[in-house]
Structure 1
Amino acid sequence: MGLFHFRLPDVGEGVAEAEIVVWHVKPGDVIKEDQSLVDVMTDKATVDMTSPVDGKVLVIHGAVGDMRAVGSVIVELEVEGVGNVGADPVDLARAPESVPPPVVIAPPPVAAPEPQPARVSRPEKAAFTTRAAGGAPLAAPATRRRAYDLGIPLQFVPGTGPGGRITPQDLDTYIASGGANATGGDARYAVRERVNDTRIIGMRRKIAEKMQETKRRVPHIAYVEECDLTELEALRVDLNAHRKDGQPKLTLLPFFIRALVKVLPDFPQINARFDDDEGVLHEYAGVHVGIATQTPAGLVVPVIRHAETCDVYDIASELVRLSSAARDGKATRDELSGSTITITSLGPLGGIATTPIINHPEVAIVGPNKLVERPIVQGAFVTVRKMMNLSSSFDHRIVDGYDAALFVQAYRRVLEHPALLFMD
């Protein structure tokens, strides 16, 4: 029998380490070639690591959430033949039989519970007299002071004294019951002491690191504009009502992307990525639109590449494909990188306005909000129009406030006059 070391392979250009997301094996498992060993995450792509050999798992290195360097041993296998350890100078001194047995950590001794004093039964009292609804709680000054020091509102403490007076014993009973009503009543006011500790790993940790790095490096400027999308919404409804077989149903998002394609050639510094380490702004002719997509694992940004070559139906089909792949965890690394500008939309949950965080190293992000009907003054009349606030953020190192305003106004014009979407 031989010892085989499975090392973390290079999972992407420039990647030095990866995070362990899920282990599919444990020590003692007998596995076959191509069987899944572990899922690791780098950047925003999860990669399934499979075994190149048959064997028995002896040791796994790293817990879920740990970072492992490329080239480091993550699984040790017992295999038929000589394995690969003899060819590794680092492991020449180690023989297969020297693999340490699993360390079993005995649980700490549990101290026996201290004997509790026996409860002394007292004769039942007659039902106490409750205070009148809305009446001020009655209590002695010392009781009031103690309740104040403990942060307990006396109006929630039932009193058993004459006329509903709150006694020191009533306060003790209220505290001992965790804040529940001593009459067995309202649990809404119970004190909640539980604290849940959750280790932030996987996609959520990547998102946290990305957001923190972006806010640290990029000075944001936010801009919000109101758009009248009555005509655009009417066009969308009509196109959906008359779409041909095989054509996808249109949401507003394909129109937003198509509007970016029309406007960005006049604002090349916005369709760009800023390498702030080198001090170089890369302006792109092609429009590669990132679509912020919520998944069970967290927020990811699949990319529609060369949106300038697509009509609204092509964009809609690509949106369906990419969002499904992202939510199923099947999007590739290439599909999750390379965007030059991002759209983040909460759809019906869009609220009034947002201040989206830029997807660094991009320099701009656009955030459509909720589409609502509002009364609007047009000349001497008040009419109901379909309105939406359009939120946006820009890297203030690259985009001045004036240029940001010009861009948003040009974008608004195309959205409010949808015929411009189809004109050269």
Structure 2
Amino acid sequence: MDFPLPPVGEGLIEVELVRWLVRPGDAVARGQGLAEVMSDKASMEVPSPFAGTITALAATPGTKIQVGQHLLSYNAVGDGAQTTSASGGHKPPEASSETFPDASSETSPDATRSETPLASGRAGAAAVASTARGAQAARSPSVTPSNGHSSNPQPPAAPSVRMLARKLGVDLTRVHGSGPHGRILLDDLTPFLAPKPSNGVRAATGTSGTDTSKFDFGVAGTRQKLIGLRRKIAEHMVESKRHIPHYSYIDECDMTDVVRLRSQLREPLAKAGVKLTYLAFFVKAVSRALKEVPIVNSTFDEAAGEVVLHDRYHIGVAVAAPNGLIVPVVKDTDKKDVATIATDIERLSSDAKAGKSKIDDLRGSTFTVTSIGGIGGLISTPIINHPEVGIMGVGKVVKRPVYDAAGTLRPADIVYLSFSFDHRVLDGAIGAAFGNAVMRYLHAPALLLLPEKLGG
């Protein structure tokens, strides 16, 4: 039987096939992911509405597929077809319930339904895609098999297990299943529940670390096709560099008072469920500075030859997701306090890393902030998020000896701020004025806690 691509979202008629989650011969259960597809930076899984055996795949990763187009072929359970095991043998169709169990054995009906719809498949598509590629590459000298299809089937596990694995960032292909036929049980994820030891330097500075083990570093001696989010990032970066004459501006900012204020607020806010990071202060400081230098809060309409100055303050926050850079947007930062901004950043970042960002969360930014401090860099020269006219890069907060106004040497928490601006719109003096405004608020962060009429 042929299975066509079902509707994947309102108004979407075409998507890109990023990765197969099954291969010919695999037995699948209802609700199991068949393929990962992407449209406009939003990744999602195509769930199976049938139970049966995959007989053929009709497309190669990287190709565009329209809704209704033939996606794959299968033999449904009950059609009299034999189910082929991974070892090449044959089992009766009913044996597939052991390999791909129904969720009712480990989870409630409500939990089962939450795993079935297409929208819920977005929750872990991006993270699973990246980690699974890494696991497959480690097992094989070639990234792409000769038939052009992924050869990394999903291990047997109930939807409740898959959901927990996504939340923990665990690659199920690296988990040993203790259930029948290697089925992964909830108990098999217990070792991953233990908290990881924190880095002493990061704990001292408050910079949130990034687990680089989740990124796909590639495999030496292989070729990788540029598809999915990686291809869209490449196209967007080329467009930015081709159209925008960048110039960079870097300054050193004393963060001592921000570090002190954050340490005072972190515990009470944590009790309220708010994770307060430095990034929230940076975003709020940028929002205030944009009101002082409105030309920076703009986009360039090249067709009309006009600079569009915005009266809304939507700050993009670059997130290093496992399968590529994503820029979710914190909306109306001028109307939100630091705690609310911190909550928005945490939600948007978690969604981006899990591959379930909504389209609306990725659109409408008027300025972007990107941070490399979590990995450890001091200075960067970020590429502007076209068609914006500016971006601010944030380095790692480090302890340095500095001289104060009286010439006394004292310890200070320092961060380097790296700005890139569109030289068609902004000259160096204006860029420096904007940078000075950002740093002025970071030097006196208590102002960021006050309403704008009182805080400047």
Partner of 1:383: 410
**Post-superposition shift, 1:351?**
2.8
Letter of the structure 1 residue corresponding to residue 60 of structure 2: A
Deviations 1:374-403 (CA, angstroms, capped at 9, x unpaired) = 222223322222221111111222222221
Higher-RCO chain (CA-CA 8 Å, sequence separation at least 6): 2
**Post-superposition shift, 1:285?**
1.9
Name the CA distance, whole Å, in 1 between partners of 2:3 and 2:444. Answer: 63
**Post-superposition shift, 1:227?**
1.0
Name the CA distance, whole Å, in 2 between partners of 1:281 and 1:9. Answer: 38
Name the CA distance, whole Å, in 2 between partners of 1:310 and 1:78. Answer: 54
Instruction: Give the one of 65, 68, 71 matched to 2:65.
Output: 68
Deviations 1:268-316 (CA, angstroms, capped at 9, x unpaired) = 2322233334444433222111111112212111211112222111111
Name the CA distance, whole Å, in 2 between partners of 1:315 and 1:277. Answer: 34
Counterpart contact for 2:262–2:278, Cα < 8 Å: yes
Partner of 1:205: 231
- Tell me the secondary structure at the aligned position of residue 344 of structure 1: strand
Name the CA distance, whole Å, in 2 between partners of 1:51 and 1:417. Answer: 55
Name the CA distance, whole Å, in 2 between partners of 1:304 and 1:418. Answer: 20
Letter of the structure 1 residue corresponding to residue 445 of structure 2: P
Q: Is the counterpart of residue 419 in structure 1 residue 416 in structure 2? A: no
Counterpart contact for 2:7–2:13, Cα < 8 Å: no
Partner of 2:193: none
Partner of 2:99: none
Name the CA distance, whole Å, in 2 between partners of 1:375 and 1:359. Answer: 35
Q: Is the counterpart of residue 42 in structure 1 residue 39 in structure 2? A: yes
Name the CA distance, whole Å, in 1 between partners of 2:24 and 2:331. Answer: 44
Q: Quick one: structure 1 residues 352 and 31, their matched pair in 2 at CA, closer, same or farther if it must change by over 3 Å?
A: closer
Letter of the structure 2 residue corresponding to residue 353 of structure 1: I
- Tell me the secondary structure at the aligned position of residue 384 of structure 1: strand
Instruction: Give the one of 387, 408, 421 matched to 1:361.
Output: 387
**Post-superposition shift, 1:214?**
1.6
Partner of 1:127: none
Partner of 1:335: 361
- Tell me the secondary structure at the aligned position of residue 287 of structure 1: coil
**Post-superposition shift, 1:373?**
2.0
Partner of 2:288: 262
Instruction: Give the one of 276, 281, 289 matched to 2:302.
Output: 276
Counterpart contact for 2:246–2:420, Cα < 8 Å: yes
Partner of 1:136: none
Name the CA distance, whole Å, in 1 between partners of 2:311 and 2:419. Answer: 21
**Post-superposition shift, 1:229?**
1.4
Q: Quick one: structure 1 residues 217 and 262, their matched pair in 2 at CA, closer, same or farther if it must change by over 3 Å?
A: same
Name the CA distance, whole Å, in 2 between partners of 1:32 and 1:418. Answer: 54
Q: Quick one: structure 1 residues 28 and 278, their matched pair in 2 at CA, closer, same or farther if it must change by over 3 Å?
A: farther
Name the CA distance, whole Å, in 2 between partners of 1:269 and 1:61. Answer: 50
Counterpart contact for 2:390–2:421, Cα < 8 Å: yes
Counterpart contact for 1:289–1:307, Cα < 8 Å: yes
State TM-score, norm by structure 1: 0.64
Relative to structure 2, which stretch is displaced further, 39-48 or 280-289?
280-289
Counterpart contact for 2:269–2:276, Cα < 8 Å: no
**Post-superposition shift, 1:49?**
2.9
Q: Percent identity?
A: 39
Partner of 1:147: none
Is there any run of 5+ residues in structure 2 with no aligned partner, and where?
77-145, 148-219
- Tell me the secondary structure at the aligned position of residue 420 of structure 2: strand
Relative to structure 2, which stretch is displaced further, 65-74 or 402-411?
65-74
Q: Quick one: structure 1 residues 205 and 288, their matched pair in 2 at CA, closer, same or farther if it must change by over 3 Å?
A: same
Partner of 2:169: none
- Tell me the secondary structure at the aligned position of residue 330 of structure 1: coil
Instruction: Give the one of 14, 21, 33 matched to 2:18.
Output: 21
State TM-score, norm by structure 2: 0.60
Instruction: Give the one of 300, 310, 330 matched to 2:326.
Output: 300
Name the CA distance, whole Å, in 1 between partners of 2:4 and 2:236. Answer: 30
Counterpart contact for 1:292–1:343, Cα < 8 Å: yes
Name the CA distance, whole Å, in 1 between partners of 2:224 and 2:301. Answer: 34
Greater helix fraction, Structure 1 or Structure 2:
2
Q: Is the counterpart of residue 409 in structure 1 residue 436 in structure 2? A: yes
**Post-superposition shift, 1:319?**
1.6
Q: Quick one: structure 1 residues 302 and 416, their matched pair in 2 at CA, closer, same or farther if it must change by over 3 Å?
A: same
Aligned length: 310
Name the CA distance, whole Å, in 1 between partners of 2:362 and 2:230. Answer: 16
Counterpart contact for 1:353–1:390, Cα < 8 Å: yes
Counterpart contact for 2:22–2:35, Cα < 8 Å: yes
Counterpart contact for 2:56–2:72, Cα < 8 Å: yes
Name the CA distance, whole Å, in 2 between partners of 1:217 and 1:9. Answer: 35
Counterpart contact for 2:292–2:437, Cα < 8 Å: no
Is there any run of 5+ residues in structure 1 with no aligned partner, and where?
80-104, 107-193
Deviations 1:207-242 (CA, angstroms, capped at 9, x unpaired) = 222222221221111111111111121111122245
Partner of 2:4: 6
Counterpart contact for 1:271–1:363, Cα < 8 Å: yes
Name the CA distance, whole Å, in 1 between partners of 2:343 and 2:44. Answer: 26
Name the CA distance, whole Å, in 1 between partners of 2:315 and 2:328. Answer: 8
Q: Is the counterpart of residue 234 in structure 1 residue 260 in structure 2? A: yes
Partner of 1:319: 345
Name the CA distance, whole Å, in 2 between partners of 1:59 and 1:6. Answer: 13
Counterpart contact for 2:256–2:412, Cα < 8 Å: yes
Name the CA distance, whole Å, in 2 between partners of 1:52 and 1:42. Answer: 21
- Tell me the secondary structure at the aligned position of residue 314 of structure 1: helix
- CA-based RMSD: 3.1
Letter of the structure 2 residue corresponding to residue 49 of structure 1: V
Letter of the structure 1 residue corresponding to residue 262 of structure 2: R
Name the CA distance, whole Å, in 2 between partners of 1:33 and 1:352. Answer: 49
Q: Quick one: structure 1 residues 303 and 395, their matched pair in 2 at CA, closer, same or farther if it must change by over 3 Å?
A: same
- Tell me the secondary structure at the aligned position of residue 353 of structure 1: coil
